Amino acid sequence: MLFMSLLSPIGKGKEAIDYLKKLKAPNGITIHDVYVTFGQYDGVVVFEALNPKKAMSFVMDIGIETGYIVETLSAVPAKEI
């Protein structure tokens, strides 16, 4: 399953960005990429998870470590619809 986590800035600023730059995938997660963005969200993490439970655990860890509000969307490639 593919997911995109949008990170809203309320947290640790530069410290959070440094964390995202070094983000490692735990077992059951494949990180496709991490983006720093301008606007409503400070970052986006695009990843795959074996199941929603793994995804939730990963997202909760990101939120705790960065202090960001994390909004996660499941994603389906348009060509698969």
The residue that leads in pLDDT, 30 or 21, is: 30
**Kind and range of the H or E element at 20?**
helix 14-21
The predicted structure's pLDDT at residue 18: 86
Report pLDDT digits (tens) over 24-74: 999 999 999 999 888 888 889 999 999 999 999 999 999 888 888 999 999
Query: Is the sign of the CA dihedral 17, 37, 52, 68 positive or negative?
Result: positive
